[in-house]
Amino acid sequence: MYTKMYKNLSEQVEKILIPYARFNQMMAKNVEELTGLSLASMQARCDIGNAHLHALGEVKDLSSLAAFNAQQLESLLALSRRCVEDCSQFTEIARAFRADIEMLMTENAARSRTGS
């Protein structure tokens, strides 16, 4: 009697917890992707800034100042391109996460309607 009751309770708890476990897995994957992207983005920005500082250290006369100013524009363009790339990657991660959550909700709604 207790064995059957324990088995039924265990099955019910498992059915309840499966969606939470899947949600937690999705959330962990999403956080991991966002963290990786953020770190890569920060590294790229640091590299651009360091290159800019090294170039500034090379300014010794008027011609090198003119070259530095031209390079500064290129650095700003590279930075803006990187920002656009980062935004599109963040958007893609958000879209994928939303699609995963919607799929999970649809499956849970179907499961609750069928009672299994």
* Closest CA relative to residue 52, chosen from 82, 75, 80: 75
For 18-39, what is each residue's pLDDT tens digit?
Answer: 889 999 999 999 999 999 999 9
Q: What is the predicted pLDDT for the residue at 9?
A: 83
Residue 40 corresponds to which tokens in the numbers above?
């890569």
Residue 59 to residues 47, 50, 77, 89, Cα–Cα distance (Å): 19, 15, 21, 36
Q: What is the mean pLDDT of residues 56-85?
A: 89
What is the number of other CB atoms lying within 10 angstroms of the CB of residue 95? 10
- Secondary element (H or E) of residue 10: helix 2-57
Grouping H, G, I as helix, E, B as strand and the rest as coil, residue 1 is: coil
Q: Is the pLDDT of residue 99 over 70?
A: yes
**Is 25:103 a contact under the CB 8 Å cutoff?**
no
Q: Is the pLDDT of residue 115 over 80?
A: no
pTM score, two decimals?
0.73
Q: What is the predicted pLDDT for the residue at 116?
A: 57
